[in-house]
């Protein structure tokens, strides 16, 4: 009886070892498990850092209503409530044509100058989780047109300006994102003659620098600096610091900036108040999205 039991145990051990070897061979055939590649999203809260375009693109079929507001500079003095009695405003709409392409149109009133603007933003590369694509790259191109009968001295060409940008950004971790935005801007309103130290160039190059640091799941601190690399005349570089707060489907962006401008021509090539002289303005951006076309398979 004991001998039969030993034989049974030996056969069981042999069968178990054979099964383990077979499973190991099967796993060898499968190879190493490949990492799941996902896109890195939510580098910024909305399509704006403060003034600069961010890496975010409005989703397909979604309309993003933007309201941007700036008060006057603090050096306006007590009679102007340190700038609170003054204001500039832009209303705009952004719409997602595809998941990588959006368009925008807006109207602004800055220092009595009424301006229409339009731009297109296109995603080229999307950073992914495995760093096979380590950065996000987007292209932006747009135009602005100065309206109003007070400028009959200007031709249609001089009323128009154009810009093109390349956004290169990386979200380093869940909290920190950095972007560089090389920009070309053509502003025909600037004199076409040879520029002097006081006269800005018609065509300008600038390098936008924007960063975001998340401080909670629904808020972040943003910083922006846009140095003009070519002759800028008497204008100064735009510098802004702000805070994003997401609440109830809205994104509020509160900031301090030296620029009254609300589109690229205005805040890049027409900022005249330096921070050191008190040319600091309180402002905010408000973003609210609406689904216009529901995606296929959407269930309420």
Establish how many alpha carbons lie within 13 A of residue 152's alpha carbon, considering only the half-sphere containing its beta carbon: 2
Distances (CA, A) of 162 to 16, 158, 184, 186, 222: 75, 11, 8, 5, 26
Distances (CA, A) of 43 to 56, 93, 255: 7, 21, 19
User: Residue 30, Cβ neighbours under 10 Å: how many?
Assistant: 7
CA 200 to chain centre: 27
In the predicted model, residues of the chain with pLDDT beneath 50 are: 2, 5, 8, 10-11, 14-18, 20, 22, 24, 26-27, 29, 191-197, 298-300
Q: What pLDDT does 159 receive?
A: 82
User: Any idea where the domains of the chain sit in the sequence?
Assistant: 62-291
The CATH architecture annotation of domain 62-291 reads: Beta Barrel (2.40)
Q: What pLDDT does 11 receive?
A: 45
Q: What pLDDT does 297 receive?
A: 58
Q: How far is it between the farthest Cα atoms of the chain?
A: 116
Q: What pLDDT does 300 receive?
A: 40
**Strand-pair partners of 212:** 177, 222
């Amino acid at each position: 009886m004991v001998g039969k039991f030993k034989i049974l145990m030996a056969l069981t051990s042999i069968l178990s070892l054979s099964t383990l070897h077979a499973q190991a061979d099967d796993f060898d055939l499968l190879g190493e498990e490949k990492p799941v590649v996902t896109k890195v999203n939510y580098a910024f809260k909305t399509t704006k850092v403060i003034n600069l375009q961010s890496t975010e693109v409005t989703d397909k079929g979604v309309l993003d209503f933007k309201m941007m507001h700036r008060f006057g500079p603090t050096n306006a003095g007590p009679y102007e409530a340190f700038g609170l009695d003054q204001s500039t405003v832009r209303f705009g709409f952004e719409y997602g044509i595809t998941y990588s392409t959006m368009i925008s149109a807006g109207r602004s009133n800055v220092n009595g100058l009424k301006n229409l603007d339009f731009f297109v933003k296109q995603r080229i590369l999307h950073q992914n989780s495995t760093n096979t694509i380590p950065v996000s790259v987007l292209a932006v191109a747009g135009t602005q047109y100065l309206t109003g009968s007070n400028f009959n001295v200007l031709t249609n060409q001089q009323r128009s300006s154009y810009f093109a940008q390349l956004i290169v950004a990386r979200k380093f971790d869940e909290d920190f994102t950095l972007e560089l935005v090389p920009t070309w801007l053509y502003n025909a309103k600037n004199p076409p003659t040879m520029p002097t130290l006081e006269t800005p160039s018609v065509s300008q190059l600038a390098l936008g620098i924007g960063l975001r640091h998340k401080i909670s799941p629904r808020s972040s601190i943003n910083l922006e600096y846009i140095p003009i690399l070519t002759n800028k005349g008497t204008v100064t570089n735009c510098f802004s610091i702000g805070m994003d707060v997401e609440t109830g489907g809205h994104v509020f962006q509160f900031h301090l900036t030296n620029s009254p401008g609300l589109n690229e021509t205005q805040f890049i090539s027409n900022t005249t108040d330096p921070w050191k002289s008190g040319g600091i303005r309180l402002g905010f951006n408000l973003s609210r999205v609406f689904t216009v076309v529901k995606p296929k398979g959407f269930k309420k």
